[in-house]
Amino acid sequence: MHKTVIFSTGRSSENVARHFRKRIRDCQHGSHAESLLASIQLHLDSAERWISAAETRVDLDITQQRLDDLLNEAADLLNEAEREFDLLAERHEQLASALATLFPEASHSTVDEMTQAAHTDLRTAGQNLKDAPSDARPLEDMRRRHGRLALRLSEIREHLIE
Name the residue ranges covered by the structural domains of the chain. Answer: 109-162
What pLDDT shows up at residue 133?
81
Closest by CA to 36, choosing from 45, 26, 46, is 26
What pLDDT shows up at residue 9?
56
- Convert the pLDDT of each residue in 92-122 to its tens digit: 999 989 988 988 887 788 999 999 999 999 9
Name the burial class of residue 142, with classes exposed (0-12), middle (13-18) and buried (19+) by CB atoms within 10 angstroms of its CB. middle
Phi then psi for residue 134, to 5 deg, are -70, -20
C-beta separation of 7 from 1 below 8 A: no
User: For residue 4, what are the CA distances in angstroms to 1, 7, 20, 21, 148?
Assistant: 10, 10, 8, 11, 123
Quote the mean pLDDT of the chain.
87
pLDDT at 73 over 80: yes
End-to-end alpha carbon distance in the chain: 100
Rounded CA gap, 48 and 45, in Å? 5
User: For residue 146, what are the CA distances in angstroms to 111, 123, 125, 149, 156?
Assistant: 20, 9, 8, 5, 15
What pLDDT shows up at residue 12?
64
- Convert the pLDDT of each residue in 13-37 to its tens digit: 667 677 767 776 666 665 667 888 8
What pLDDT shows up at residue 57?
98
pLDDT at 47 over 90: yes
- Band (pLDDT 50/70/90 cuts) for residue 8 is low
What pLDDT shows up at residue 24?
67
